[in-house]
Structure 1
């Protein structure tokens, strides 16, 4: 039963990644504008001495947004592959253990993107936390997603007793 739950969770993470990509691409202009807003530090404008950090390049904003949706796509694809490989190997201890590594990798892609991109770069470097509403909401969701993905990684790492 634990193996089945791990497989289902990898499928769920895959769905999260693909739905995120779809949302980002269907709502492309507002998403890109949000990245541009963070990079420009407009929300932290009342903080003297840090404006040198701001970036006003549309190319860099586009690249930043691309990293977000490409990371979600990679997570979706790798976790879907992991779910498939884990299902295929559900009765073979060694193969199942190897297949779980794909799930760990898939979750890890988005953990890095969320923590580095949203918490470290957007939050700390560009001081997005200073934006009263959006900054805190973004930080909260990045934290929630990061913690969920990290808990899935820990769950995947845990051994399961398989009875045939």
Structure 2
């Protein structure tokens, strides 16, 4: 009779010592109103998300807070990998969480870093936003003493779209 291996299912360890309540608070935050979230509150959510960043190589923490069309806010942080190409950007983590939860229409995003240096979404993240958002999608960037506001169409003119592909 062949020997069968059985794997014991170990309990899931806590997330690197971070309180799970704090993580859940900003990972998926339901809002009651459908009006656009206050800029300062959205940036505060992005700043909070930087605390969860996994950045052992660059030590450059990035957070994003993505507001859906119905006012729900999803946050993301950057997650580095030693080979860098497998790293995840804060914006794509937030988009993935939103889409996973059934959202595909977005109002605005706030992006920040631990340096408060006005970090902008990279080209890859801009292209991903283009998949779901129009040219007028708001992008707020956290600078040292103020917020900079951009429109997606200005950040990525001539983006690749379904129309570009003839679909």
More strand by share: 2
TM-score after normalising by structure 2: 0.28
More helix by share: 1
Q: Looking at both structures, which has the greater relative contact order when contacts are Cα pairs under 8 Å and sequence separation is at least 6?
A: 1
TM-score after normalising by structure 1: 0.29
